[in-house]
Structures are given as structure tokens and as C-alpha cells.
Chains A and B, each alone.
Chain A
Amino acid sequence: MAIITISRGSYSKGKEVAEKVAARLGYACISREVLLDAGDRFDIPEVRLIRAIHDAPSILDRFSHGKQAFMAYIRYALARRAQKDNLVYHGLAGHLLLKGIPHILKVRIIANLEDRIKSEMSREKISEEEARSLILRDDQERRKWTRSLYGLDPWDSALYDLVLHIHKLTVDDAVTFICEAARLKQFEPTPETRRKMDDLVTACEVKALLANEYVDVSVACEFGNVLIYAQSGERLQHKLQERARKMVREIKGVHHVEVHSGVPAPAQAV
């Protein structure tokens, strides 16, 4: 009854681990599906969402904030899926997008660079040098992406509950550990953690609806009461308050919406 996020580098066998864990536990296994959900809900082509979640923001992106809006859509789609429980997500940044939910088991799968290079060489039929350069570039892009959007390093073990190194440990060992950990009491949802998950979904939905029009907006939700933290000036704040009032009717489960300006957003805000 848990939610498992599996973070992985390319060719680290993370996908294989995720699929086997899902099969053994009878859970749904998703990755790209989240992008399809987000694309359908907000009418965005999948390729643009893939670019948003894969490439680090460029200097122009930092001014246009387009990537932040796409990330808000993806986060909402993932939170909606996670709300239903029994899920293994092996797409990008699951542990960051679903932060603050206690019953999520966060796993990172790593593998030796040389093993990854061999896998890429045999799959893509390319030279060792090309494979090395591709993998290193991909790793660097991941690091840059996480640092620029969340100020964190995906290589930092403290972000995960378990980091499993596929070398001496096999894929099947990793699957066993993850399945056993997922059955631990602390990863079972409780009414309290379910409520937190519902609040996260609401906050993500509000953020996704605002993301296109308002930049630098953070949203928190507690017991259905939504708090919007804005950096905008007085004129925009007035507009935002109007928009927020409409949201109470638009979004199911929202009891009340408040807009705060010039106040730092709490850590759990999305």
C-alpha cells in the first residue's frame, strides 16, 4: 500500500528494478504516463513536457519561467497518480515532486560508470568514447536541472531512504530490499498521511492553474485551506485575489483561499 519513487541515472538498471518491484507487489509502474496525463489535462504537447523535465533551464528559461509552468503541470499529474497509492514511479524527480509525504519510499539506484558505458555501447552500437561522453553529459544535465529548479544535488544520498549500488548487488537483490522496505509500517498510508497527500494534490492543482499567468507563486494547502504566496506587486496581487476567489468554486476540496504577498513561503509549499 505504499508509493515508491525510484530515481536512477541512464543505464543504471533502475527501470528494470522498478518494473520488477511493481510486478512483485502488484503495483502500477509509471514514468512517461505522467507526462501524457499532464499533456492531456493542460493541452501541452508531450515533447515540450519532456524537454521541461529533461533539459536544464537555459538563461532564457530563467526569465520566461516557461519551464516552471510545465513542471507545475507534471507535478500535479504525478500527485494525482500517487493519490491512488500502490504505485512505483521511476520517472525523473519523483522524490522531489512528492516531497513532504511521509509514506513515500524514496530509492536511488546507482551503477558503476564502466558498467553503464558497456550497456550503452551494446544497446546503441556506439564506441566507448561516445558512450562515455553521452552518459557523462546526461548525468551533468540531470545535476544542473535539479540544482537550478530545486537547489539540490540528485547525487546526495540524504534525499533518499535507500541507495542501492547495482554491482555486487544484483537487480533481484535490489527488488527484494525495496519490496521488504515498502512493507514496513512507516510506509503504510495513515489517515493523516492520506490527508497530506490530498492537500498536496490540491496545492499542485492551484499552482498548475496559476503557473501560466503568475510567476514566482508558491502554494501550500492544509485541510483544504489554500495559502498562495506571491512576490507580485499590489496591482497583480489584486488580480490574483480575484482569481483565487474563483478557484474555491473551480477546484473540488478547496474550502478557503488566502493570498499573502511579500511573506516567505513555508518549506512544504509547492
Chain B
Amino acid sequence: MSIIIISSDSYEKGEEIAHKTALAMDYTCLGRELLAVVEAQCRIPRDKLEWALKASPSSWGRSVGLQDRCLASIQSMTLGELLKDNRVCHGLAAHLYVVGISHALRVRILADPAELARELSGQGDISSERALRLIDRQRKSRQQWSLTHYQLDETDPSQYDLVISLSQIHTDEAVKIIAQTAGYRRFAPMTYSLRCIKDAEQASRVRTGLLEAYPKVKVRAEGGTVIVETKGSRRNRLKKAAAIKEKVQNMEGVDYAEVHVKNGLFKRAP
């Protein structure tokens, strides 16, 4: 009766462990298959969604809007699925947005460096120096990606309840450890933690609905009340707030919407 979030430096290892854990616990495994649903519902091509989950932000800021929209759509759909409970989630960056939910067990899996280097290089044998360089480059790129989009460092162990390195511990043993931990009572859903994830899902759904028209929007939700923050010029502040409010109030599950439009630094009216 919990949620297990698996993050890994190797997509293949994360996927393998997620599938085996789901099987061991009789849970549903939630992976990149969900992108097909996001594609159908949000009308964003699947290759763009996959690109958004991997691509480092460009130094010129190009395509940032599209990447944000892709990630917001994935986040919203994933959180919707996680509301159903008993899920093992991997490959959807959920470790970066399922935060502060007490019934979510967050696990990081580190692949054996030699295996990871082979996977990254796509070759059979490579020198150990080249392998280390490749791993380091990949780690830095993921670090930058997670910091840019979620302001969290995904390589920081304090983001997780458990980090397991597969250099010495085998996949099946890792699965056993995860299943045992998820079975602890403190990972069982509570009224408060269920409300937290429901609020996160609602905020994410509202933000996804607003992002195309209002790219800098920030959204919070608390039991049906949605608080939206954005930036705008002093002249258009009231008009913008009213437009957002109208749009949000028509969204499913919203009882009350509060909109705050702050002055944009470079958009101040003369």
C-alpha cells in the first residue's frame, strides 16, 4: 500500500529493478509506457517527451518552453497515476517532484561503473579512464538537468531514503531490500500524505493547463484551493489575473482560485 520511486544512473537497471520489485510486491509498474498516454492526451509527440527527459538545457534558453511543457505534462500524468497507489515508478523523473509525500519510498540505484560505462559508450571494451570520464560527464549532465528543471540535485543521496550500489549487491538482493522497506508501516499511506499527493497532482494539472499561455507560472494547491503566481506588467496585471482566474476556476476539482501577478522586472509599464 505504498508508492516506490526508483531513480537510477542507468535507465536499463532502473527499469529491471522496478519491474522485479513490482512483480515481487504485486504492484503496478509505471514507466515510460505512460508517455504514449501523455502523447495522446496532451498532443505532444513521444520523441519530444523522451527528449525532454534527457536533454540538458541549452545555454541560449532555446526550446526551454517546450521542454517545460513536456515535463509538466509528464509530471501531471504520473502524479495522476500515483494517486491510485501500489505503484512502482521509474524513468519519469518522479523522484524530483514526488517530494514530501511520506508514503513514497524513494530509492536510487547505482549501476556497476564498468557496466554503466559500456552502456554509455555503446561499445564492448573501453579503457577505465575513458569509462570514468564518460560516467563523470553523464553525472554532471544529469545534475545540471535536474537542477535546472526541478531545483534539486538528483545525484544528492539525501534526496533518497535508500541508495543501493550494484557493484557488489546483485539485482535480486536490491529488489528484496526495496520490497522489505516498502512493507514497513511508515510507508503506508496516511490521510495527510494522501492529501499531499492529491494537492501535488492538482497543482501540476493546473500548471500544465496554463503553461502554454503563461510560461512562467507557479501553482500550489491546498484541498481544492489553487494559488497561482506569475509575472506581468503593471498595466496588464488585473487583466492577466482575471484571465487566469477564469481559466483555472473552470478546471476539474478547483473550488477556489487565487491569482497573484507580480511585477515583471523588465516588463514594467512606463
Residues of chain A at the chain B interface (Cβ within 8 Å)? 102, 105, 108, 110, 112, 155, 157-158, 160-165, 167-169, 173, 177, 180-181, 184, 186-187
Contact = CB atoms under 8 A, between A and B. Distances in A.
Interface string B153-169: 00111101111110111
8 tightest A-B contacts by CB?
A163-B163, A157-B163, A157-B157, A163-B157, A161-B168, A165-B161, A161-B165, A168-B161
Nearest to A164: B162
A155 B105 CA distance: 21
User: Which of A105, A162, A184 counts the most B-chain CB atoms under 10 A from its CB?
Assistant: A162
Contacts of A167: 161
Interface in B153-187: 155-158, 160-165, 167-170, 173, 177, 180-181, 184, 186-187
B110 interface: yes
Main secondary structure, interface of B, reads mixed
Contacts of B162: 162-165, 169
B208 interface: no
Given A112-B158, A155-B157, A160 B173 contact: no
Nearest to A158: B110
B168 A186 contact: yes
Contacts of B155: 157
Residue of B168, B180, B181 with most chain A CB atoms under a 10 A cut-off: B168
Contacts of A112: 158
Interface in B95-116: 102, 105, 108, 110, 113
Contact of B161 (A105, A155, A169, A180): A169
Nearest to A180: B177
B169 A157 contact: no
Nearest to A160: B165
Given A162-B163, A162-B164, A169-B162, 6 more contacts: A108-B157, A157-B110, A157-B155, A158-B110, A162-B162, A168-B102
